[in-house]
Structure 1
Amino acid sequence: MKSIFYVLAFLAGVALSLEGAMYASLGETIGKLESSLYNFAVGTIILGVALLFFGKGKLSYTKEAPKWQLTGGLLGLIYLTILVVGIPLIGVGMAMSSVVVGQLIMSMVIEHNGWLGSPKVTVRKEKIIAVGLMIVSLFLIY
């Protein structure tokens, strides 16, 4: 059962690359910030409808959540807007490769320190070598 999530995570990565390229192109047509706004507006509407049928949580408890947990939307906005601006300049491949390297480095720091409710996972030298090789790959891709 767990292996299905590896496939789903892979497909999420495929979707992110498609999304980045699509919204970068849309940004050239309607404007970069407008493209990001469109993304979040359409996503909000679709998710709102899905929530009506499948939601099981308590959205009203948002005011009781720790405030740091509510900053994810800001981070998503920053992520997408940087892609909308950056992909026309550096390309989808370089942008997504850089995103993956950044995600790996930050996820290692988060897990190593047990931040944000994550279980502690000690960083091994193999992980450091792997990330180092990915950083080298950025220069080779460029």
Structure 2
Amino acid sequence: MIHHAAIMLAAGIGIPVLAALNARLGANVGGPAAAALVLFSVAFAVTALAVVVTGPSALLRMAGQPWHLFGAGLLVAFYVLSVTWIAPVFGVGNAVFFVLLGQILSAAAIDHFGLFGARIVPLSPLRLAGLGVMAAGLTLTQFAGR
């Protein structure tokens, strides 16, 4: 069961990282829709239409982007595959609990250090307390009443 929690925690950490990477990729090429086309190959037709509408020139700038910005696609696949595999054996509530906990931790680190070009939001004592309250709330909602 601990490995299920670790996988879901890693999946949760990946969600804000995914957002930060894809946001930076979209900013670098000047077209979030073009970045989404690369990321969501499954939704190719819808994304291709958005690129045509918003301007296909951003696709021309993809080749010059740092390779790490394309890591968001791997994180999407990891999340979908892990939650699909883990939730039936670990429980949806448990899976989502660790995803949310991972999101809180990862988002705070991304903001504090300005990772992937994100705007820096320092981890002040008040913000840290707020994150602690959020984590406590998640814990209470998951484990209370059992």
Q: Same fold (TM over 0.5)?
A: yes
Instruction: Give a deviation string over 1:89-126, Cα, whole Å, max 9, x none.
Output: 12333322321211111000111111111122122332
- Number of aligned residue pairs: give it: 103
Contiguous gaps of at least 5 residues in structure 2: 1-39
Match of 1:129 among 128, 132, 137: 132
Pair 56,125 (structure 1): closer, same or farther in 2 beyond 3 Å:
same
SS at match of 2:122: coil
- Structure 1 gap ranges (5+): 1-39
Structure 1 equivalent of residue 116 of structure 2: 116
* 2:97–2:142 CA contact under 8 A, matched in 1: no
Runs of 4+ in structure 1 over 4 Å off: none
Q: Report which stretch shifted further, 132-141 or 44-53.
A: 132-141
Tell which has more relative contact order, 1 or 2 (C-alpha 8 A, sep 6+): 2
1:72 matched to 2:75: no
Please say which of residues 46-55 and 78-87 is displaced more in the overlay. 46-55
Q: TM-score, normalised by structure 1?
A: 0.60
Tell me the alpha carbon deviations over residues 20-63 of structure 1, each in whole angstroms, 9 at most, x when there is no partner.
Answer: xxxxxxxxxxxxxxxxxxxx654123322333334455112111
Query: What is the percent sequence identity of the aligned residues?
Result: 23
User: CA offset at residue 72 of structure 1?
Assistant: 0.6
Normalising by structure 2, what TM-score? 0.58
Q: 1:61 corresponds to which residue?
A: 61
What is aligned with 1:93? Answer: 93
